[in-house]
Amino acid sequence: MDSTQTPTVTLITKPGCHLCTLARDVVVRVTGELGVTFDERSLPDIVDPDPMWWEQIPVTLIDGEIHDYWRVSERRLRSELSERLGAARSA
């Protein structure tokens, strides 16, 4: 990520996944509070996904890099995004 850009969070989910619903709630809350872009993609619709994602769903990416999987930690996500936003503001 360019240090002047706002980070982007991508949540990789699959249909019928109860952990994905919980993860979505956390990601929507944190990104909404911090004004960060959020995108959700369904694993079956992704061309050539990382094979590990099928076992790790839901997967949270920040700027295309894995941040969390299985369960999304609200504290960790908020901390990482706040740090990146601070770096972007000070650049």
Share of the chain above pLDDT 70, in %: 91
CB 78 within 8 A of CB 29: no
HSE at residue 49, side-chain half, CA atoms within 13 A, is: 20
Q: For residues 63 and 7, is the Cβ–Cβ distance under 8 A?
A: yes
The partner residues of 24 in beta bridges, in order of sequence, read none
44 phi and psi angles, rounded to 5 deg = -65, -20
The answer to whether the CB of 74 falls within 8 A of the CB of 33 is no
List pLDDT tens digits, range 35-53: 999 999 999 999 999 999 9
The pLDDT tens digits of the residues spanning 64-89 come to: 999 999 999 999 999 999 999 987 67
Q: Give the amino acid at 14.
A: K
